[in-house]
Amino acid sequence: MRKIVFDIETSNIFSEVGSNDPAMLDISVVCIHDSLTDKYSSYLQENLNSLWPILERADMLIGFNSDHFDIPLLNKYYPGDLNKIKSLDILKEIKNSFGRRMKLEQIAQGTLGTGKSADGLEGTRWWKNGEYQKVIDYCLDDVRITKQIYEYALKNNTLLFKEGGEIITIPLDTSGWEVEGGSAITHTLPF
């Protein structure tokens, strides 16, 4: 099963576009981990055409808040429909099991014992200041964290999150996460 763990950083924020619709934002970088090659890579907005063939052959896209944020934003640039590719949104799984949303930072601290290297607002500031490599490194770090959290959940059927000084367990049913469903090629691109 070819799994793509991914994250997106933007060059602007909701208050600047006057909307809470992710598709109104602009991508600065998309970072991925490809299970087929076991490699991390990054794609600036102008290089997204190099990303499409990888996504086209993915069996599953994995992200954190990806169904609500990343996929709708990426679909703005994609000539097909990324919703046709199986996706696993870890935050959605947490909300379905635990009844509420939480930040990746809380999950990283609880499950991995380490936090994120920055936050999205800082990434946007870096981008505007021309510090592009900082944004790429931050995005790659979020992909690493998301991948580690996914693997932990798959192995343990739980995730942990830190709230205050307390570590709380989130039970998860991961039995259907890696069930394959048909061909990896979605045939949504016009070629």
Write down the pTM of the prediction. 0.91
Give pLDDT tens digits for 46-84.
Answer: 999 999 999 999 999 999 999 999 999 999 999 999 999
Tokens, residue 55:
């996504």
The identity of residue 45, as a single letter, is Q
Q: Containing H/E element for 90?
A: helix 90-98
Contact 80, 189 (CB under 8 A): yes
Which tokens hold the place of 191? 């070629």
CA distance 114 to 70: 23
Higher pLDDT, 82 or 18: 82
- Rounded CA-CA distance 136/28 in Å is 9
Residues 6+ apart with CB under 8 A from 23: 72, 73, 75, 76
> Shortest CA distance to 170 belongs to which of 114, 113, 86, 91?
91
pLDDT attached to residue 34: 98
Give 101-151 pLDDT, tens digit per residue.
899 999 999 999 887 777 767 888 998 999 999 999 999 999 999 999 999
At 190, the pLDDT band (50, 70, 90 cuts) reads low
Which position has the higher pLDDT, 148 or 189? 148
At 184 the pLDDT is: 52
End-to-end CA gap in the chain: 24
Tokens (6 digits) for 45: 């907005």
Q: What average pLDDT does the chain have?
A: 90
Residue with tokens 């763990």: 5
Better-scored residue on pLDDT, 165 or 6: 6
pLDDT score for 91: 96
Domains of the chain, each with CATH number or no CATH: 3-171 (3.30.420.10)
Helix (H, G, I), strand (E, B), or coil: what is residue 150? helix
**Is pLDDT at 18 greater than 90 in this prediction?**
no
